Amino acid sequence: MAERRCSLDTLLAETQPFGMARLARLLLELASDLELAMRTGVCSAQLSSASVLVEHAGTERERARLPLAPAQPGEPALQPALREMGALLEQLGRLKLGVEDSLSAPRPPSSRRADQPLLHAWRRILAVIARRCASAGAYPSAAELVRDLERLSRISQRIVARRRLPPHVYVSHPKPALQVAALPKVMLRCA
């Protein structure tokens, strides 16, 4: 099987609706790469859905890679990278999402009406993280962003795992009518 590489843009266009757990995992990988780049002094290139490379797309080994820039003198600046990450999060929050994981589901995730409040809450969380990325100093380090996206990823995975469980079926048997113990019929002759 050939290794498939594509941009995040291409992957998102091919997979609609996109599973929220899969998207949370890809965003967590990008944030982890950003945190590693900041710790090691490597600068990231312009961060957008077109510049993010997805390796092994559509397989269990799928991994998002941060675009790296050529070596530059000096410390990389955290705030511009976080602002770009926030813009990417905001863009991805507008996607058509499904609750099931679009990678391992036998069929593409469907958008059920009952899932809308859950998806709306998930998008709000993503929007809060995006706003924190955009505001200066809200994330003192990329590790804080990684921590927030780890939480979102864990919650998304739990939701998907719970969705895969078979439904609980409760069988209710009607209670039998209470039977009054029959009293022996005794006939007394009164003389």
| Domain contains 189 | no
Indicate the number of domains in the chain.
1
Q: Which amino acid is at 153?
A: S
51-77 average pLDDT score: 80
**Using 50, 70 and 90 to split pLDDT, how confident is the model at 17?**
confident
Is the whole-model pTM more than 0.85? no
What average pLDDT does range 143-152 have in this prediction?
A: 93
Distance CA 104, CA 51 (A): 25
Peptide bond into 17 cis (omega under 30): yes
Task: Tell me, yes or no, whether 94 lies in a domain.
Answer: yes
Contacts of 71 (CB under 8 A, 6+ apart): 42, 43
Per-residue pLDDT, 29 = 93
Segment 62-82 shows an average pLDDT of 77
The CATH code of the domain that includes 21 is: 1.10.510.10
Question: Is residue 174 assigned to a domain?
Answer: no
Q: How high is the pLDDT of residue 187?
A: 54
Residue 178 belongs to some domain of the structure: no
Range with the largest mean pLDDT of 5-19, 104-118, 163-177: 5-19
65 phi, psi to nearest 5 deg: -120, 135
Q: Residue 27: which pLDDT band, with cuts at 50, 70 and 90?
A: very high
pLDDT at 169 over 60: yes
Domain that holds residue 150: 5-164
Question: What number is the average pLDDT over the span 133-157?
Answer: 90
What is the percentage of the chain residues whose pLDDT exceeds 90? 20
Q: Does 169 fall in a domain?
A: no
Please tell me the distance from the alpha carbon of residue 57 to that of residue 3, in angstroms, as a whole number: 8
Per DSSP, 175 falls in state P
